[in-house]
Chains A and B, each alone.
Chain A
Amino acid sequence: MTDQTMSSASPAIVKPKLSRDDWVMRAFILVIGLWLVVTLVMPLYVMLSKSVQNKDGFFIGLSNYIEYFSTPALFYSINNSFFIAFLSTAISISLASVFAFILSRSTIPGKSVFKNIALLPLLAPSLLPGISFVYLFGRQGVLKGLIGDYSIYGPIGIVMGEVFYTFPHALMILIAAFSIADARLYEAASTLRTNRIRTFFTVTLPGIKYGLISAIFVVFTLVITDFGIPKVIGGQYNVLATDIYKQVIGQQNFEMGAVVSVVLLIPAILAFAVDRFVQRKQVAMLTARAVPYEPKPHAIFNRFFFLYCCIISVMIIGTIGMAGYASFVTFWPYNLELSLNNYDFDVMDGGGWGSFYNSLEMAAYTAVIGTSVIFTGAYMVEKAKGFGIVRGIIQFLCMIPMAVPGMVLGLAYIFFFNHPDNPLGFIYGTMPILVIVTIAHFYTVSHLTSMTALKQMDPEFETVSASLKVPFFRTFLKVTVPVCLPAILDISIYLFVNAMTTVSAVIFLYSSDTALASIAALNMDDAGDVAPAAAMCMVIVATSASVRVVHALLSKGISAKTQKWRTR
Chain B
Amino acid sequence: MKNDTADLKDETYLQVRNVTKKFGTFTALKDISLDVIEGEFVCFLGPSGCGKTTLLRAIAGLDIQTLGSVYQGGKEISNLPASERDFGIVFQSYALFPNLSVNENVGYGLVNIRTSKSDIKDRVTELLSLVGLEDQGDKFPAQLSGGQQQRVALARALAMSPGLLLLDEPLSALDAKVRVHLRHEMKELQRRLGVTTIMVTHDQEEALTMADRIVVMNDGVIEQVGTPEEIYGHPASPFVAEFVGTMNFLKATKGDNENINLGAHTLSLDDEEKAKLNGADVLACVRPEDIVVRGVDANTENSFDATVLDLEFLGSFCRATLTYGDGDVNLNADFSINLVRDKGIEVGGTVRIALPANSIHIFSAG
Chain A residues close to B by CB (< 8 Å): 3, 11-22, 458, 460-461, 463-470, 474-475, 478-479, 482-483, 562, 564-568
Contacts and interface: CB of A to CB of B under 8 A. Distances in A.
B81 A18 contact: yes
A565 B142 contact: yes
A461 B82 contact: no
Interface centre among A14, A460, A466 (most CB of B within 10 A): A14
Interface string B90-110: 010101011110000000110
A109 B95 CA distance: 43
Contact of B81 (A12, A17, A464, A470): A17
A223 to B, nearest CB: 42
B157 A11 contact: no
Contact of B82 (A13, A458, A463, A568): A463
A15 B143 CA distance: 43
B165 to A, nearest CB: 10
Interface of B: 1, 18, 60-62, 64-69, 78-85, 87-89, 91, 93, 95, 97-100, 108-109, 111-113, 140-143, 156-157, 159-160, 162
A486 to B, nearest CB: 12
28 contacts: A11-B18, A16-B64, A16-B79, A16-B81, A18-B81, A19-B81, A19-B84, A20-B83, A21-B81, A463-B82, A463-B91, A464-B108, A467-B83, A467-B89, A467-B109, A468-B88, A468-B160, A470-B109, A470-B111, A478-B97, A479-B98, A562-B99, A565-B140, A565-B141, A565-B142, A565-B143, A566-B142, A568-B142
Given A14-B68, A458-B95, A466 B157 contact: no
Q: Is the interface of A mostly helix, strand, loop or mixed?
A: helix
B83 A19 contact: yes
A482 B99 contact: yes
Contact of A463 (B68, B89, B97, B109): B89
Nearest to B98: A565
Q: Is the interface of B mostly helix, strand, loop or mixed?
A: loop
Given A19-B82, A466-B83, A479-B97, A567 B112 contact: no
Contacts of A14: 64-69, 78-79
B215 to A, nearest CB: 21
B99 A467 contact: no
Nearest to A464: B95
Contacts of A483: 98-99
Contacts of A470: 108-109, 111-112
B12 to A, nearest CB: 21
B157 to A, nearest CB: 7
Contacts of A467: 60, 82-83, 85, 87-89, 109, 157, 162
A479 B93 CA distance: 16
A558 to B, nearest CB: 11
A18 B61 CA distance: 11
A19 B62 CA distance: 11
In the A-B complex, the 9 residue pairs with the closest CB atoms = A468-B109, A19-B81, A565-B140, A460-B95, A466-B82, A16-B64, A466-B83, A19-B83, A458-B95
Nearest to B160: A468
A478 B160 CA distance: 19
Given A11-B18, A14-B67, A460 B93 contact: yes
Contacts of A20: 83
Given A458-B95, A483-B99, A568-B142, A466 B81 contact: yes
